[in-house]
């Protein structure tokens, strides 16, 4: 059974494929830093088998980087009539549906790597911390439009807490 | 002073008991809630200082008495510090300094009281305080999550009470400490009335308090002995009574006791094996902690009461320091009915809730989130009907009973498939969900049984998850997100198809219920109806009316054949 957890009649809107660049960039930086840091004991002590740590770390990061394009393609969102549905994850998949009226606020964040390729990250906050809807990799223009749409939708469907 | 023209507060002054007679009080509450700035009980700084203040006075009195006696009887021993100071010529300056400090602190207390003002308008409750560092806190009335009146033992002796207005958020409470005890009850009623969306004129509810007259001592005594719930504001009968044996039994057969016994055995073994009594020392803090925990739980649950009022549910508890909290309708975000293994022979259950206002300290949180410390099945049903009135009908009751009873695969709950046995060894038959009226029910656990109910109108979002293992098995996990609290409504190891169905259904139901929900202004639409109902002395229907109404409008999937039979 390799069927995926997904909605039946879903037309997901994907995010910009450029987001893969951001992800890969971030992973590369992290991977290099961690590998170098864990390689230090090997050089200092000269014990051979300690090199296994940086090598395995490097391999994990490489696999991760190789999977990034697929992972980015797995991220999707959908504006339905009354709620926002968000999906992410390749191995660990997660699908969330949030009614618009539940919105408390919308954040737009841009990291340095995001800025370099002109992307933004949109965060949809509700009263429940576990909702955790963060849509990454939206082109700046789209992110702002989406934010305005969401705010307008939330306003028209305002609900209590 | 910032407001020289503000009305003189004069909250229940002790010296005027005669004028404090019955009919004034509701008026006074109305006056306190008139939108102008008011001050707190004049004894506030004294009560806040509380025991520390008493201790200092005690020390001073004891010392002064010694000195006084010595002065009279002329007994002098050269080691007296005062003598030495006097001889060195420092006595006068030191006395002056002490006096100055005393004066300054009295002045400080006075000004902090003067500057500590509050007001209650139609929209918000606001408190300003502080002399040098001013703080100003506002809470919106339609976001009130509960109003808490607590009377610590010390304040209780002086007939004062602390009123806490909880709004949604971490530690987001507007605290009015202290108010006159009677005034606090009336003020709470007034605030709830404003918050409920009824105008004061509309709700000319005759609240004639059958107040006792009499001297100050009598009033204090009667206040101390009075039931925790104000008999005028609530039907005097609490719907649940916890008898002392049951309460003690529930504590004895709790997990904490088992842990304590295990640790005791461990230490006993350690002592006998090593022959060193040093291990007993390790026992001591544990014993203290355990006794403290038991005592706290016991006093918290003593004189427990829960009852319906027209403005929500009132929960009162406490023997020496009492607390009673009013939760307006629609403020409960999740309910969990659970049963530890050891409670099963006795058939006891515990009810916990999630609310949007969280206390900062963990003990307070525990007290606030435990709705029913211990009760049998009937108690549980009564409390559930109170907090989720839409579940009162026969069908829902059956579903609830199925949710609480032992495993059964053929009931109305959609349960885990048989292949989930590897993940839910004992509970796969029980592990399941159902939509009951306008709530979502998640049933879990064979050893630690629990039933989680989330009102659809309070669901923040729904999500489904799968990992590599669950995907292999064709299973998925489902989570219903609510505000943070002790309950997390998740259910794992369900069939993937079922989860997707439920995800759709619950998502749709959440939107519909949220749209139809009017509980943030719970009386605005039904003010007249509730008023009439109350006139008919039918408190129960008055309390249910707005919610039941809202529930009827919701086209919930209650009669969806797929889910509910």
Q: Give a yes or no: residue A60 inside a domain.
A: yes
**Contacts A157 to B, Cβ<8 Å:** 511, 514-515
DSSP H helices, B436-557, are: 468-472, 496-516, 527-535, 539-553
Count CB neighbours of B516 within 10 A. 19
**Contacts A4 to B, Cβ<8 Å:** 471
Q: Are strands B475-481 and B461-466 parallel, antiparallel or unpaired?
A: antiparallel
CATH architecture of the region B18-40+116-225: Roll (2.30)
A93 and A46 in one domain?
A: no
A135 and A91 in one domain?
A: yes
Smallest Cβ–Cβ distance between A130 and the set B479, B508, B520 belongs to B479
- Check B500 against A6: CB less than 8 A apart: yes
pLDDT of B360:
63
pLDDT of B225:
58
The pLDDT tens digits along chain B (565 residues) read: 333 334 444 443 333 333 333 333 466 667 777 778 888 888 787 777 666 767 777 887 887 777 777 767 665 554 566 677 777 777 788 889 988 988 888 888 888 888 888 888 888 888 888 888 888 888 888 778 888 888 888 788 888 888 888 887 777 788 887 888 777 888 888 888 888 765 444 444 433 344 444 456 666 666 555 555 454 444 556 788 888 889 888 888 888 888 888 888 888 888 888 877 777 777 777 788 888 888 878 877 888 888 888 778 888 888 888 888 888 888 889 999 999 888 988 899 999 998 887 766 666 777 778 888 899 999 999 899 888 888 888 888 888 888 888 756 567 888 889 899 889 888 888 899 998 878 899 999 888 899 999 998 888 999 999 999 999 899 999 999 998 888 999 998 899 999 999 999 888 888 888 877 777 667 665 544 444 444 444 444 444 444 434 333 333 333 333 322 2
Smallest Cβ–Cβ distance between B484 and the set A85, A129, A157 belongs to A129
**Contacts A91 to B, Cβ<8 Å:** 467-468
pTM of the model: 0.77
- Check B460 against A133: CB less than 8 A apart: no
Q: Give a yes or no: residue A161 inside a domain.
A: no
- Check B514 against A99: CB less than 8 A apart: yes
Q: Give a yes or no: residue A7 inside a domain.
A: no
A150 and A80 in one domain?
A: yes
pLDDT of A19:
93
Average pLDDT over every residue of A128-138: 89
**Contacts B139 to A, Cβ<8 Å:** none
- Check B472 against A1: CB less than 8 A apart: yes
d(CA A118, nearest CA chain B) in Å: 30
Q: Give a yes or no: residue A1 inside a domain.
A: no
pLDDT of B68:
74
A94 and A66 in one domain?
A: no
Residue of A nearest to B508 (CA): A82
**Contacts A85 to B, Cβ<8 Å:** 507
Cα–Cα distance for residue pair A48/A40, rounded to 1 Å: 12
- Check B496 against A5: CB less than 8 A apart: yes
- Yes or no: say if B118 and B176 are a contact pair by the CB < 8 Å rule: yes
**Contacts A126 to B, Cβ<8 Å:** 460-461, 481
A105 and A61 in one domain?
A: no
Q: Give a yes or no: residue A10 inside a domain.
A: no
Smallest Cβ–Cβ distance between A96 and the set B463, B484, B510 belongs to B463
Strand order in the sheet with A83-88: A13-14, A76-79, A83-88, A93-99, B461-466, B475-481, B489-495
A96 and A64 in one domain?
A: no
- Check A5 against B479: CB less than 8 A apart: no
Q: Give a yes or no: residue A51 inside a domain.
A: yes
A58 and A96 in one domain?
A: no
- Check A99 against B496: CB less than 8 A apart: no
Residue of B nearest to A96 (CA): B463
Q: What are the φ and ψ backbone dihedral angles of A115, each rounded to 5 degrees?
A: -60, -35
pLDDT of B212:
41
**Contacts A77 to B, Cβ<8 Å:** none
- Check A99 against B510: CB less than 8 A apart: yes
A105 and A86 in one domain?
A: yes
Burial class from Cβ neighbours inside 10 Å (0-12, 13-18, 19+) for residue A161 reads buried
CATH number for position A84: 2.30.29.30
Query: Could you tell me the two tokens for B374?
Result: 């211990």
Q: Give a yes or no: residue A13 inside a domain.
A: no
DSSP H helices, B226-277, are: 244-252, 255-274
Strand partners, B88: none
Interface test with B, best of A1, A2, A4, A5 (most B CBs within 10 A): A5
- C-alpha of A137 from chain center: 8
Q: What are the φ and ψ backbone dihedral angles of B546, each rounded to 5 degrees?
A: -65, -40
| Buried b or exposed e, range B311-341, using 16+ CB within 10 angstroms | bbbbbbbbeeebbbbbbbbbbbbbbbbbbbe
Smallest Cβ–Cβ distance between B511 and the set A3, A83, A127 belongs to A83
**Is omega for the bond preceding B178 within 30 degrees of 0, making it cis?**
yes
- Check A5 against B143: CB less than 8 A apart: no
**Contacts B142 to A, Cβ<8 Å:** 160
Smallest Cβ–Cβ distance between A131 and the set B461, B504, B520 belongs to B461
Q: Note down the domain range covering A49.
A: 19-71
Q: How far apart are the first and last CA of chain A?
A: 40
| Buried b or exposed e, range B409-433, using 16+ CB within 10 angstroms | eebbbbbbbeebeebbeebbbbbbb
A134 and A89 in one domain?
A: yes
- Check A95 against B464: CB less than 8 A apart: yes
Query: Could you tell me the two tokens for B240?
Result: 């649940």
Interface test with A, best of B461, B480, B501 (most A CBs within 10 A): B461
Cα–Cα distance for residue pair B423/B31, rounded to 1 Å: 61
DSSP H helices, B152-277, are: 153-157, 181-195, 216-225, 244-252, 255-274
**A71, A91, A108 — which closes off a domain?**
A71
Number of structural domains found in chain A: 2
Q: Which residues of A touch B (CB under 8 A)?
A: 1-8, 82-83, 85, 91-99, 101-102, 126-131, 133, 157, 159-161
Interface test with A, best of B170, B463, B467, B554 (most A CBs within 10 A): B463
A137 and A123 in one domain?
A: yes
Interface test with A, best of B170, B328, B460, B521 (most A CBs within 10 A): B460
Q: What are the φ and ψ backbone dihedral angles of B425, each rounded to 5 degrees?
A: -55, -50
A152 and A115 in one domain?
A: yes
Smallest Cβ–Cβ distance between A7 and the set B143, B356, B500 belongs to B500
Q: Give a yes or no: residue A8 inside a domain.
A: no
A82 and A63 in one domain?
A: no
pLDDT of B17:
35
């Amino acid at each position: 059974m390799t069927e995926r957890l997904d909605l039946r009649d879903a037309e997901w809107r994907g995010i910009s494929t450029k987001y893969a660049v951001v992800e890969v960039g971030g992973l590369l930086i992290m991977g290099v830093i961690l590998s170098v840091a864990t390689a230090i004991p090997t050089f200092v002590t000269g014990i051979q088998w300690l090199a296994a740590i940086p090598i395995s770390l490097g391999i994990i990061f490489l696999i991760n980087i190789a999977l990034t394009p697929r992972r980015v393609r797995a991220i999707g969102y959908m504006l339905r009539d009354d709620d926002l549905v968000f999906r992410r994850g390749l191995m660990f998949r997660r699908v969330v549906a949030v009614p618009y009226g539940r919105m408390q606020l919308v954040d737009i964040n841009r990291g340095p790597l995001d800025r370099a390729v002109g992307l933004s990250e949109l965060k949809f906050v509700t009263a429940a911390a576990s909702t955790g809807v963060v849509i990454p990799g939206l082109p700046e223009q789209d992110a702002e439009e989406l934010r305005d749409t969401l705010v307008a939708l939330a306003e028209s469907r305002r609900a209590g807490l | 002073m910032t407001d020289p023209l503000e009305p003189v507060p004069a909250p229940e002054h002790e010296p005027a008991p005669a004028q404090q007679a019955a009919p004034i009080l509701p008026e006074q509450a109305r006056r306190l809630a008139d939108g102008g700035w008011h001050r707190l009980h004049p004894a506030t700084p004294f009560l806040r200082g509380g025991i520390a203040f008493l201790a200092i006075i005690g020390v001073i009195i004891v010392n002064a008495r010694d000195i006084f006696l010595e002065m009279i009887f002329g007994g002098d021993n050269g080691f007296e510090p005062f003598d030495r100071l006097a001889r060195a010529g420092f006595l006068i300056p030191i006395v002056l300094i002490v006096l100055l400090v005393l004066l300054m602190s009295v002045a400080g207390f006075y000004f902090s009281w003067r500057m500590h003002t509050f007001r209650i308008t139609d929209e918000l409750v606001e408190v300003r305080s502080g002399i040098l560092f001013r703080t100003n806190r506002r809470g919106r009335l339609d976001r009130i999550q509960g109003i808490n009146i607590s009377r610590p033992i010390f304040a209780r002796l002086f007939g004062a009470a602390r009123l806490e207005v909880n709004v949604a958020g971490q530690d987001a409470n507007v605290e009015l400490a202290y108010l006159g005890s009677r005034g606090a009850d009336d003020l709470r009623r007034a605030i709830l009335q404003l918050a409920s969306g009824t105008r004061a004129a509309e709700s000319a509810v005759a609240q004639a308090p059958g107040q006792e007259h009499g001297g100050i001592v009598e009033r204090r005594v009667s206040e101390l002995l009075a039931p925790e719930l104000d008999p005028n504001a609530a039907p005097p009968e609490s719907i649940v009574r916890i008898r002392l044996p049951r309460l003690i039994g529930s504590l004895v057969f709790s997990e904490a006791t088992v842990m304590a016994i295990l640790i005791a055995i461990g230490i006993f073994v350690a002592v006998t094996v090593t022959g060193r009594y040093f291990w007993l020392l390790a026992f001591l803090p544990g014993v203290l902690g355990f006794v403290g925990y038991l005592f706290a739980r016991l006093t918290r649950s003593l004189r427990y009461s829960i009852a319906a009022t027209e403005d929500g549910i009132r929960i009162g508890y406490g023997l020496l320091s009492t607390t009673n909290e009013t939760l307006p309708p629609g403020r409960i975000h999740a309910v969990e009915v659970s049963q530890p293994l050891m409670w099963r022979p006795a058939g006891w259950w515990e009810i916990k809730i999630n609310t949007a206002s969280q206390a900062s300290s963990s003990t307070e949180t525990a007290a606030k989130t435990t709705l029913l410390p211990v009760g049998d099945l009937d108690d549980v049903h009564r409390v559930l009907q109170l907090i989720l009135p839409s579940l009162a009908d026969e069908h829902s009751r059956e579903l609830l009973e199925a949710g609480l009873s032992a495993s059964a695969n053929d009931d109305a709950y959609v349960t885990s498939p048989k292949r989930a046995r590897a993940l839910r060894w004992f509970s796969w038959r029980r592990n399941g969900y159902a939509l009951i009226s306008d709530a979502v029910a998640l049933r879990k656990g064979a050893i630690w049984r629990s039933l989680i109910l989330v009102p659809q109108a309070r669901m923040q979002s729904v999500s489904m998850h799968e990992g590599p293992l669950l995907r292999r098995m064709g299973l998925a996990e489902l989570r219903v997100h609510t505000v943070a609290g002790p309950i997390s409504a998740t259910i794992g190891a369900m069939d993937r198809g079922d989860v997707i169905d439920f995800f759709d259904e619950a998502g749709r139901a959440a939107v519909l219920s949220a749209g139809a929900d009017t509980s943030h202004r719970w009386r605005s639409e039904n003010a007249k109806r509730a008023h009439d109902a109350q006139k008919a002395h039918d408190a129960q229907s008055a309390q249910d009316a707005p919610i039941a109404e809202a529930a009827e409008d919701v086209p919930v999937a209650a009669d969806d054949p797929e889910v509910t039979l």
